[in-house]
Amino acid sequence: MVASGTSLGVGMVGYAFMGAAHSQAWRTAHRFFDLPLQPDMAVLCGRDPHAVAAAARKLGWRSVETDWKQLLRRDDVGLVDVCTPGDTHAEIAIAALDAGKHVLCEKPLANSVAEARAMVAAAERARAAGVRSMVGFNYRRVPAVSLARKLVAEGRIGQVRHVRAQYLQDWIVDPEFPLVWRLQADKAGSGALGDIGAHIVDMAQFVIDDRLSGVSALTETFVKERPLPAAASGLSASGGAGSSARGPVTVDDAALFFGRFGGGAVASFEATRFATGRKNAIRLEVNGSAGSLAFDFESMNELSFYDGTEDPETAGFRRILVTEPTHPYAGAWWPPGHLLGYEHSFTHEVVDLVTDLAADRDPTPSFADGLQVQLVLDAVARSAAAGSGWQPVDTAEEA
């Protein structure tokens, strides 16, 4: 199921925002990295035959299907890439794993803890037969974020005490922006919490190599109803302004919470789609007993580092330009100082996944890792619903 000869047949379900990002990764990975298997973009799947055919031509897929179940029956597909809304993740991923296909599934893993647990169970069944799975938290693969994890692991900032994480967007500030699927709980599961909050939960846990054990949270929906869309794709839509047909927003617009990590560090998290003027601002700062690290996605090729052991007279935050050949992933790209972008994080995701599949080892983050993030999101939702009271984060083993 891994490959035919030296290639890996890929079938992708979904072709909008994430589908385009993943397609770029599958096209590019083997052209810059020496991969043990060459991705074969075998088939793209979508419900609209004309739209999916046009997307396949544009994105580089060699055939199309309009039924994902048919995709699973194809012998030229060894891996299924799930880039659909969250309400379909569990059904597609579980069926693919049961059919003996490796699976890459976009985050968040599922719309509920129950769905995520079922996906983990399917992944464990498949793993026994050598079939692997991974959830797509792409920001882990930004070189500066991977370098931050390395510096923490090496003890460069000492014992971690504080973590601050933000993910700020503004794409639905306009109350006339249409009611797209990301604003509907039955399709998206949650709003800013699951869509972008999941990223900073994973990033923070990844960088300090620790997990949240409890949270206190609040959420808010600022615009309670919106006009129905005429058309939508990714983070854009049309047909809302002036429409008399409206529907309720059933997810959060913003989520804020405090947390405590198992190792004792305290944390604050903020995820919002109402930070006017902020398009995709992701910020992470980690303070330790001997230093600090700070990352800002709007300067994604940089990492700020403070070494608290230096002479105070000259000590200060230094800017590390993370483009040296010795930095994570950077050596496969351009000469030092030539910058990488958002799309490269998905390419690195594919590189790591294909490398792990060829080595017959478990990729990370696993479905179990995705479940753990889902458990944090669930604790945040429970706390917000209970007046911000402290809620423990359940463990994967708990019912």
- pLDDT digit string, tens, across residues 277-302: 999 999 999 999 999 999 999 999 99
Question: Residue 202: is its pLDDT beyond 60?
Answer: yes
96-118: average pLDDT:
97
Q: Which H helix or E strand runs over 68?
A: helix 68-72
Pair of tokens at residue 366: 């696993």
157 SS3 class: coil
Q: Which residue from 281, 291, 315 is spatially nearest to 162, judged by alpha carbons?
A: 291
Phi, psi (5° rounding) for residue 303?
A: -135, 130
266 SS3 class: strand
Burial bucket for residue 204 (CB in 10 Å: 0-12, 13-18, 19+): buried
Phi, psi (5° rounding) for residue 180?
A: -75, 170
Measure the CA–CA gap between 398 and 371, rounded to whole angstroms. Answer: 12
Spatial contact of 131 and 186, defined as CB atoms under 8 Å apart: no
N-to-C CA span, the chain: 32
> Residues, the chain, total?
399
Q: Which residues of 82-94 are buried (b: 16+ CB within 10 A; e: fewer)?
A: bbbbbbbbbbbbb
Of the chain, the percentage scoring pLDDT greater than 90 comes to 94
Measure the CA–CA gap between 16 and 232, rounded to whole angstroms. Answer: 10
pLDDT for 232: 61
Give the DSSP per-residue string, 93-124: HHHHHHTT-EEEEESSS-SSHHHHHHHHHHHH
pLDDT for 235: 63
What is the reported pTM? 0.94
